[in-house]
Chain A
Amino acid sequence: MPLSSVDAAAKRGVAAVQQYSLLSARSLGNLFRRPFYGADIITQADLIGVGSLPIVILTGFFTGGVLALQSASTLAQFGAAAITGQLVSFSMIKELGPVLTSLMVSGRNASGMASELGSMMVTEQIDAMRALGTDPLKKLVMPRIVATIIMLFFLTIVSDAVGIMGGAVVAIVMLGQDASQYFHTAYQSLQYADVMQGLVKPLFFGFIIATIGCYYGMNTRGGTQGVGRSTTQAVVVSSVLIIAMDFVISRFMIGIFGR
């Protein structure tokens, strides 16, 4: 019957949200109580942050470059080619830097977390860890959440900087604009609210990436097929949530700062 399947689907959805909330709360609750897995946080920060650096740099550079390229003709129509730097820095710092960096990191790391933890689930390694007296939420999930939030913050800054450089290369080398004017407009037009908006977003996005990746990993069932399903779902769900959360945060920050 259609109504019972809707009812069952709704119950499953609510149960999933409950399990996700419990996983996040238990992982971060008592964060500094012993045992504290500081070494695992550093290891994850290296894998997630340093490991994602190449793709973040490439993404940022070409995004900034294509922004300058695509906006050049439109700005020139209004005699506003001189503000290319402002357009690139605004777009990168407020929006494209945080969002595209998060989507790249999500594709790389949410899938990695889901597949690694999912493989451990289906081979009973998680059960073995619990039987040996170690809380898998503190040992495996917490370091990933903390490392992702911290490293995504810095990766976003790198992406913003590289994006502005990419725009500069296009504007100066390909479009013949003045370098001093480009960097001047890029920097002078920025205000505290813009930078705040751009640096608050990665904190939320980092939380989403790690918790979604770990949630699907820790709830994997059904052998290798289940691991594949979890990996795909982790990337899709975290990407969609990042886009949705971006809208919410942008609206919220504009409401507070007025721009």
Chain B
Amino acid sequence: MKQQIIISGLGGQGVLFATRVIAEAALIQGHDVLTSETHGMAMRGGTVISHVKVGPYQSPLIRSGRADLGLFMNPGNLDVHGHYLSESGRFFVNTGTRGNYENMDATKIAGEIGSLVVSNLVLLGFAVAEGALFADAGVFRKAIAKTSQSRQLELNLRGFETGLRARR
């Protein structure tokens, strides 16, 4: 099993948390995992990216044109980080606007269930439902349970479940 994933967004959109959930899911599945994250100044609303590499890798960074999957929390980031995706890479974009990618207005959906902070998990749920990730929904539920603070857990799971079912 090898999968290279980028998660792209703006500081404050939950890119780091989504990274931790995906990494935890890999560990639950018994895979090796390497990630690389953006911290520091860019986290104040600037463009941020996480790299997640599931499987036997050495380098924490993904090369241009090598990612299998991209989760874009901000559609504006496509021009910035789109180049990481391979020819066959799948893009999941948080937007209501259709385009040459799979899209879902995760922010709107998250707002409807009462918390914008879970839009990251709505988008993740959507990508999991589409079979784009290395593990199924059950594994991600466990990963969310393991990484969430107790008072956030219920809301996080609701966000994920909503994303999972949104297209059915």
Whether both chains belong to one complex is answered with no
Mark B residues whose CB is within 8 Å of A.
none
Mark A residues whose CB is within 8 Å of B.
none
